[in-house]
Structure 1
Amino acid sequence: MNRKQSESQKKLLNGVRPSRIVYPILIGIAVVVYMIGKEVDSNTLSLVELSWQSLFWLFLALVMMIIRDLGYMARLRILTDKQFSWRKSFRIIMLWEFTSAITPSAIGGTSVAILYLNKEGLKVGRSSAVVMSTSFLDELYFILMFPILILFLDSNQLFMTDAANQSMWLNSLLYFALLGYLVKTIYFIVLTYGLFWNPRGLKWLLLWIFKLPVLRKWKRGANQAGSDIIESSKELRQKPFSFWLKAFMATFWSWTARYWVVNVILLAFMFQGYKLSDHIMIFARQLVMWIMMLVSPTPGGSGFSEWVFTKYLGEFLPSVGVAATIALIWRLISYYPYLIIGVLILPKWIKKHFSD
């Protein structure tokens, strides 16, 4: 590897240095403390009581996160033809999640993920193919699940557009979600077309778009992305249907387990209050929440995620104060562990792969 390329990679890693975990933690806790301080009264905390039953459900929520990560690890092994061991797959997924957790949701950890895979033994072209494949499969999950949920659920209840909810934020939720779904669908179509049919045409389109004055400074990155897509296409077009089916099933279980974390946490404190239809609605609303979190400018959606949780899932909880408390527990289980694990793994990983 030449010196210039190594310096470029080190510069890329500067954006995911462990010290950056402070910002998402402070933002998220500040929002929760504000909401709890504003809404908590003498009866609120009595509604959130720990018992052996609630501890069991909280443990099950952790199990859901483990299933989610195992699904991601299995998918990585499938996409690399088992070139990575389970241990190496765990390390890569944790680094990937750490990167996503400390960068704005709209940015994510894709660029650095290619570097992680490359440094763990994959060629750059194949690393790009794997990362592009994960993006393709993730988007496919959303593209399929969103219309299925809309078809079988009451859309007025899902988007809170009934007469009892007339706030501007809630009434705009439906249009916001549909716009997000449209953007994801367009991205999925373009990515699919580029990966499987005309990668050079997609690169040309990217370069043409990034000639616009407002996007011109990212033209070099777009050019690299186009080159990655061309390399990825050569790899992916040779894969059989069974390969994609196994990879998608791993994706399906990962995302589904991730969403069931909230359902299980709610069972920990409100066991007798929910019907099966409520759980399906909670699951569906999380899918919509995820689309909303994509536009969050904060690292990992911190602050924004907690606020949306109280607004959108508060209907299933007795008060805003309780909703804010549950939102904090949700983030403690599904978000903060990746910050801690990343801080423990990343310095050693950088020392191992970038020591001169």
Structure 2
Amino acid sequence: MQPDAPEALKTLNIKKIWLPVLCGLAITGFLFYKSGKISRATVALLSEPNWNYWCIALLCIVLREVGHIFRLRILSNSSLSWTSCFYIAILWEFASAVTPSVVGGGVVAIFIFSKEGLSLGRSLSYVIVNGIMDNIFFLLAGLRGFWGAYESFFAMADEFSGTVKTIFFISYMMLLIYSLIIAIGVFINPKLLKWILMRVTSITFLKRWRRSAYQLSKDIITTSNEFRGRSMLFWSKILFCTMLTWVVRYAFLNCLIAAYSYSAVSFSEHLAIFGKQVVMWSLMLVPVSPGGSGIAEFLFQQFFEPTLGDYTLMIAVLWRVCTYYLYLTLGAIFLPKWIRRVYSKSISLHKSVSEL
């Protein structure tokens, strides 16, 4: 996988934020208009939260980035500076926010890694291993999420919940199969995986994917070589950072709902909220809008209106501001700084070489 620098820079463009912002505002405005449930009471609710839960929610945002930064630092065996890890974490989130969910920010992340001084092979390896770790979390949380959300959502015998169950199951099984294939290639026998992929894509109706399969097998071999022989302690640290990052990512909404709930949210209700988010994430793999903008707000209403009632859309706005628009803002702030930083280093290096 060779990152295209002009294409990556086109994605990492501040102007890209306007499309998801406008899309999100349009869908949210339509949902408010259609529901007719916005009133002074719902707006006044925003100024009367449980501030203890709000503080925990804000801590979740911080811990999410701390976990991401530490994971990058550990993956690189400290070859990436803390500053580099910070920029990569922020800009990776930004790239994911301005690209459709089906595209993701992986290719852009490879470009960001390479501009921070890593070789293409190492950059690619870090992105693949990050993806494997994220998939492990989803596969584990998906089991808990399915059962945690079942009684409060899947038990509803309507058309929407039936569709959600089907999409969730298909997404889960596809991710499980894909993750097993990649994990076998990276951790067990990459050359065997290459042989299998080449054999499978030699079948007549699969030949169109032969080149992609060959490139994937090359990427897997590169990743396997990079991480071969790493200790259990290394992988334990990576897995812990991954779990921390995702748990606090979802816990933010738990805290937000608890902050505005009239009654205490029980443990089983927290599990249901967590489970619904896992299921929502599986649906968010499908949307073609940047960062799932607009689709996320719609899904939030479908999932949480039975629980939140008239306050659903107000909570949805707060949720998206703190978990999505925040990263658009941070990207707009730090992207110009990062571009000046990495390209000034390249200019300085060229000057030093020319003076030799």
Q: Determine if the TM-score, normalized by the shorter chain, exceeds 0.5.
A: yes
TM-score by length of 2: 0.87
Which of 226, 229, 233 is equivalent to 1:242?
233
- Indicate how the Cα distance of structure 1 residues 206 and 12 shifts in structure 2: closer, same or farther if over 3 A, else same: farther
Whether contact under 8 Å (2:145, 2:279) holds in the other structure is no
Equivalent position amino acid for 1:293 in 2: M
Question: Residues 63 and 118 (structure 1 numbering): CA distance in 2 closer, same or farther, change over 3 Å?
Answer: same
Aligned match of 1:113: 109
SS in structure 2 opposite 1:37?
helix
Q: Which residue type is aligned with residue 114 of structure 1?
A: I
Superposition deviation, residue 223 in structure 1: 4.8
Deviations 1:145-166 (A, max 9, x none): 2224446x47343xx243xx33
**How far apart are 1:340 and its partner, in Å?**
1.1
CA distance, structure 2, for counterparts of residue 135 and residue 282 of structure 1? 24
Tell me if the contact between 2:128 and 2:223 (Cα under 8 Å) persists in the aligned partners.
Answer: yes
Matches within 5 A, 1:60-75: 60-75=56-71
**Does residue 113 of structure 2 align to residue 124 of structure 1?**
no
Query: Displacement, 1:220?
Result: 6.3
Residues 103 and 219 (structure 1), Cα distance of their counterparts in 2 relative to 1, 3 Å cut = farther
- Could you tell me how far apart the structure 1 residues matched to 2:144 and 2:274 are? 12
**Is the CA contact (8 Å cut-off) linking 1:48 and 1:269 kept in structure 2?**
no
Shift of the 203–311 alpha-carbon distance from structure 1 to 2, 3 Å rule, reads same
Q: 1:82 is matched by which residue type in structure 2?
A: S
Deviations 1:38-84 (A, max 9, x none): 11346574475134644553343222111011001111111111222
Q: TM-score, normalised by structure 1?
A: 0.87
Structure 1 distance, partners of 2:214, 2:64, is 33
**Cα offsets for 1:280-336 (capped at 9, x unmatched):** 1101111111111011111101111111111012221023xx211211110000111
In structure 2, C-alpha distance between the alignment counterparts of 1:59 and 1:221, rounded to whole Å: 47
CA distance 1:307–1:228, shift in 2 (3 Å): same
CA-to-aligned-CA distance 1:118-146 (integer Å, 9 cap, x gap):
21122221122211111111011111222
Aligned to 2:22: 26
The SS at the match of 2:45 is coil
Alignment correspondent of 1:84: 80
2-structure distance, mates of 1:154, 1:20: 35
- Asked if 2 retains the 8 angstrom alpha-carbon contact of 1:73 and 1:90, the reply is yes
**1:313-332 paired onto structure 2 within 5 Å:** 313-319=304-310, 322-332=311-321
Question: Is the Cα–Cα contact under 8 Å of residues 72 and 251 in structure 1 kept in the other structure?
Answer: yes
- Contact conserved, 1:53 with 1:268, CA < 8 A, in 2? yes
Distance 1:204 1:263, change over 3 A: same
Identity percentage over the alignment?
A: 33
Question: How many angstroms apart in 2 are the aligned matches of 1:246 and 1:65?
Answer: 20
What is the DSSP-based 3-state SS (H/G/I as helix, E as strand, rest coil) of the residue aligned with 1:172?
helix
Alignment of 1:299-338 (within 5 A): 299-319=290-310, 322-338=311-327
1:273 Cα deviation after fit: 4.7
Q: Report the counterpart of residue 141 of structure 1 in structure 2.
A: 137
2 CA distance for matches of 1:263 and 1:28?
22
Alignment of 1:281-300 (within 5 A): 281-300=272-291
CA distance in 2 between counterparts of 1:214 and 1:56 reads 56
In the alignment, structure 1 residue 155 sits paired with structure 2 residue 147: no
Gaps (5+ residues) in structure 1?
Answer: none
The 1:142/1:42 distance shift into structure 2, 3 A limit, reads closer
Aligned letter for 1:332? Answer: V
The residue matched to 1:272 in structure 2 has which SS?
A: coil
Are residues 223 and 113 of structure 1, via their aligned partners in 2, closer, same or farther at CA, if it must alter by over 3 Å?
Answer: farther
Q: CA–CA distance in 2 between the matches of 1:350 and 1:122?
A: 16
Residues in 2 aligned to 1:38 and 1:231: alpha-carbon distance in whole angstroms: 52
What SS class does the counterpart of residue 297 from structure 1 fall into?
coil
On the 8 A contact 1:32/1:325 being kept in 2, the answer is no
Partner of 1:174: 165
Rounded to whole Å, the distance in 1 between the matches of 2:201 and 2:65 is 35
Question: What residue is the counterpart of 2:328 in the other structure?
Answer: 339
Residues 250 and 317 of structure 1: is their aligned pair in 2 closer, same or farther, counting only changes over 3 Å? same
State the distance in 1 between where 2:122 and 2:329 align.
Answer: 29
1:275 counterpart (266, 270, 274): 266
Query: Residues 78-109 of structure 1: CA distance to partner in whole angstroms, max 9, x if unpaired?
Result: 11112223222111100100000001112111
Determine the C-alpha separation between the residues in 2 that align with 1:210 and 1:39: 54
Over 3 Å counting, the alpha-carbon distance change for 1:342 and 1:78 in structure 2 is same
2:91 corresponds in structure 1 to 95
**What secondary structure sits across from 1:342 in the alignment?**
helix
